[in-house]
Amino acid sequence: MGQIVTGHFEADGAAVNLPLGFVPAYIRIVNVSAADTEVMALEWWSEMGDSAEIWHYKVNNDGGDDVDTPVKKASGGYIAEYNSTAIDAGTSNDDTDPCRLTGFKGVTISASFMDDSDEVYYLAIAPDRDVDHGDINA
């Protein structure tokens, strides 16, 4: 069954492990607080692999910038799959949940993509079908 999750968070200057309940086949992350010439939006397909995504820069519309956008990153990107199902034991005798699930599925977003107090929005999709057609020959 396909799923679509949208959301928002305020960055704290550190990397973010974004719990989605699934590893998305596609995610778009937009930092609406990005300054001119910074990476403002990321697009990632799980088939691209970790740290490989498409960057969209915020470009000042005065015509004076020489920033190319979008840019395909084959490595050194900001997004990686996060898929953990760790179970931890309770930590004290008064712990109300003696065995809790602490892992999750989602993505990790590098701290390098956002600054403290940046406003970040996302759209994550786990489709009913995710098809890799391979090499299409004419």
Q: Are 24 and 126 in contact (CB under 8 A)?
A: yes
Give the pair of three-digit tokens for residue 47.
């088939």
Q: Which of 68, 2, 63, 57 is nearest to 30 (CA)?
A: 57
Q: Are 13 and 111 in contact (CB under 8 A)?
A: yes
Per residue of the chain (138 residues), what is the pLDDT tens digit?
Answer: 889 999 999 999 999 999 998 999 999 999 999 988 889 999 999 988 888 999 999 886 666 666 677 889 999 999 999 887 665 544 544 555 555 555 688 999 999 999 999 999 999 999 988 888 888 876
Which residues have C-beta within 8 Å of that of residue 88, sequence separation ≥ 6? 99, 100, 102
Q: How far apart are CA 78 and CA 83, in angstroms?
A: 16
Q: Does the predicted model carry a pTM greater than 0.75?
A: yes
